[in-house]
Amino acid sequence: MKQKVTFFWFRRDLRLEDNVGLFHALQSDFPVIPLFIFDEDILENLPKNDARVSFIYDSLQKINEELKTIESAILIKKGKTAEVWKSLLTQFDIQKVLFNKDYEPYAIKRDSEISSLVQQNGAVSLSYKDHVIFEEKEITKSDGLPYTIYTPYKNKWLEKYHLSGQAPEYDTKPLFSNFAKNQFEFPELSEIGFERSSIKVLPHNLTQIANYKETRDFPALDSTSYLSPHLRFGTVSIRKLVNWANKKNQTFLSELIWREFFIQILFSFPHVVNHNFKPAYDGIEWSNNEEDFKRWCSGTTGYPMVDAGMRQLNETGYMHNRVRMVVASFLCKHLLINWQWGEAYFAEKLLDFELASNVGNWQWAAGTGCDAAPYFRVFNPEIQQKKFDEKGSYIRKWIPEFDLGYNAPMVDHAFARDRAIATYKKGIIK
């Protein structure tokens, strides 16, 4: 007879410690088999040397090495998620399947289908909140509707957080003996159909943000934590981060709350993936000039701050947050290119790409989203450079030819600003 087992399904929570779903799985009455599925529906759209796949693979390998010390291993599968689960349900006597919730539209649909499949096969399917402090409808206005403005959302979030003391952390280590003993073979990256990327996810470092409030807008100082890809794939616990930030760094905590704000916007208003949050902006006539877009992508616009940011992104998969605002505003306002083009390019390149934040921030820059920058605010890239990279240290790092005589700007700022404001005024539906 097959051994009765519980499955824990890793997704964007690639760690063994302080993992809510895993904590509950390990308290099951049955040995726990950890699982990760390389989902072909996601992978088929990625280049073979995608840096994020390399990072996921390496993170899983770290998990597997730790499991090997207790004579266990993670089961790695690749395929269409439903087909993988159908196969697993025939191979194992699965009693329970546990996983942590994901709030993106694709994931919600996928998880609903898998839960139904599991239940049809006589097993229990359970999901848990792990990716955020407050989910779905936990932070709402008094009428139960979701917030669409950040500041009141943040205030309600902080009020609820402080009432609870702090976010609970889950100690999984004492439960590790409940992992099933097994010797699953860990595949090579090439067996999954990918090759190692030369672009690396950097280790996160909280000591770099000691003066975050004062230094976070200056890209040359390199005073950011590099946490964002780790948050995206769950190699760090959001609860530990929030509890730390609450004690040490309120400005950094506000940025973590922005992340949750955009996640609940995406959950409550899933149309924002492909449409403006504000339908009144649907009438804007974007120029969408392909040659202009190529120059923006390649970092050859003639505006040093914009070009340095795009070259940093292309070479490393990172871009400083202040610079992200400048390059996004430039694409939408100076070049009148639809924010969706920029959002898609960032989705392809960013190591920390997360749908909710990417869509939310791009619509913020374009002025078409919730609590967005007003349409008539048009960042002047030259003023931004003088304010935040006065000595040109950041620019010279990414544009080595800068001092040899740099290209003229592809569009005059004053002209582009007036054109953008006129186009928005004309396009906004009253």
Length of the chain equals 430
pLDDT band at residue 209, thresholds of 50, 70 and 90? confident
Of 274-278, 349-353, 371-375, the least confident: 371-375
* Superfamily for the 1-131 domain: HUPs (3.40.50.620)
> How far is it, in rounded angstroms, from Cα 273 to Cα 333?
20
> 3-state SS of the chain?
CCCEEEEEEECCCCCCCCCHHHHHHCCCCCCEEEEEEEEHHHHCCCCCCCHHHHHHHHHHHHHHHHHHCCCCCCEEEEECHHHHHHHHHHHCEEEEEEEECCCCHHHHHHHHHHHHHHHHCCCEEEEECCCCCCCCCCCECCCCCECCCHHHHHHHHHHHHHHCCCCCCCCCHHHHHHECCCCCCCCCHHHHCCCCCCCCCCCCCHHHHCCHHHHCCCHHHCCCCCCHHHHHHCCCCHHHHHHHHHHHCHHHHHHHHHHHHHHHHHHHCHHHHCCCCCHHHHHCCCCCCHHHHHHHHHCCCCCHHHHHHHHHHHHHCCCCHHHHHHHHHHHHHHCCCCHHHHHHHHHHHCCCCCHHHHHHHHHHHHCCCCCCCCCCCCCCHHHHHHHHCCCCHHHHHHCCCHHHCCCCCCCCHHHHHHHHHHHHHHHCCC
pLDDT band at residue 1, thresholds of 50, 70 and 90? confident
pLDDT band at residue 208, thresholds of 50, 70 and 90? confident
pLDDT band at residue 373, thresholds of 50, 70 and 90? confident
The answer to whether 22 is a known ligand-binding residue is no
Q: What is the pTM of this model?
A: 0.95
Residue 113: predicted pLDDT: 98
- The answer to whether residues 15 and 235 touch, using CB atoms and an 8 Å cutoff, is yes
pLDDT band at residue 238, thresholds of 50, 70 and 90? very high
The answer to whether 260 is a known ligand-binding residue is yes
Residue 416: predicted pLDDT: 97
Residue 405: predicted pLDDT: 85
In which residue ranges of the chain is CATH 1.25.40.80 found?
Answer: 133-166+208-268
- The angle subtended at Cα 170 by Cα 166 and Cα 173, nearest 5°, is 150
The answer to whether 228 is a known ligand-binding residue is yes
The answer to whether 262 is a known ligand-binding residue is yes
pLDDT band at residue 269, thresholds of 50, 70 and 90? very high
Residue 207: predicted pLDDT: 85
The answer to whether 69 is a known ligand-binding residue is no
- The answer to whether residues 210 and 216 touch, using CB atoms and an 8 Å cutoff, is no
Measured over the CA atoms of residue 146, residue 151, residue 152 and residue 157, the dihedral's sign is positive
The answer to whether 255 is a known ligand-binding residue is yes
Residue 190: predicted pLDDT: 97
- Segment 6-22 mean pLDDT: 98
> How far is it, in rounded angstroms, from Cα 364 to Cα 349?
19
For the chain, give the percent of residues with pLDDT over 90.
91
pLDDT band at residue 231, thresholds of 50, 70 and 90? very high
- Segment 74-99 mean pLDDT: 98
Residue 294: predicted pLDDT: 98
* Residue showing tokens 């993936």: 273
Residue 164: predicted pLDDT: 87
Of 291, 331, 290, 289, the closest CA to residue 310 belongs to: 331
CATH hierarchy code of domain 133-166+208-268? 1.25.40.80
Of 77, 12, 86, 90, the closest CA to residue 40 belongs to: 77
pLDDT band at residue 224, thresholds of 50, 70 and 90? confident
Residue 165: predicted pLDDT: 85
The answer to whether 225 is a known ligand-binding residue is yes
pLDDT band at residue 366, thresholds of 50, 70 and 90? very high
Q: Which residues of 32-45 are buried (b: 16+ CB within 10 A; e: fewer)?
A: bbbbbbbbeeebee
- Segment 50-62 mean pLDDT: 98
In which residue ranges of the chain is CATH 1.10.579.10 found?
Answer: 272-427
Residue 161: predicted pLDDT: 97
In which residue ranges of the chain is CATH 3.40.50.620 found?
Answer: 1-131
Residue-wise pLDDT tens digits, 379-409? 999 999 999 999 999 999 999 999 988 989 9
* C-alpha 387: how far from chain center: 28
The answer to whether 212 is a known ligand-binding residue is yes
Residue 98: predicted pLDDT: 98
Residue-wise pLDDT tens digits, 120-130? 999 999 999 99
| C-beta atoms surrounding 155 within 10 Å | 13
- The answer to whether residues 73 and 64 touch, using CB atoms and an 8 Å cutoff, is yes
The answer to whether 136 is a known ligand-binding residue is no
pLDDT band at residue 374, thresholds of 50, 70 and 90? confident
With a cut of 90, say whether residue 252 has pLDDT above it.
yes
HSE-CB for 161 with a 13 A CA cutoff: 23
The answer to whether 224 is a known ligand-binding residue is yes
| C-beta atoms surrounding 4 within 10 Å | 15
* Residue showing tokens 């940025």: 255
- The angle subtended at Cα 340 by Cα 292 and Cα 281, nearest 5°, is 105
For the chain, give the percent of residues with pLDDT over 70.
100
Q: C-alpha dihedral over 421, 424, 429, 430, to 10 degrees?
A: -10
> How far is it, in rounded angstroms, from Cα 165 to Cα 119?
36
Name the average pLDDT for the chain.
95
Q: In what order do the strands lie in the sheet with 93-100?
A: 75-79, 32-39, 4-10, 93-100, 124-128
Question: Cα-flanking dihedrals φ and ψ of residue 320, to 5°?
Answer: -60, 145
Class of domain 272-427: mainly alpha
Residue 223: predicted pLDDT: 85
Paired with 78 in beta bridges are 38
With a cut of 80, say whether residue 216 has pLDDT above it.
yes
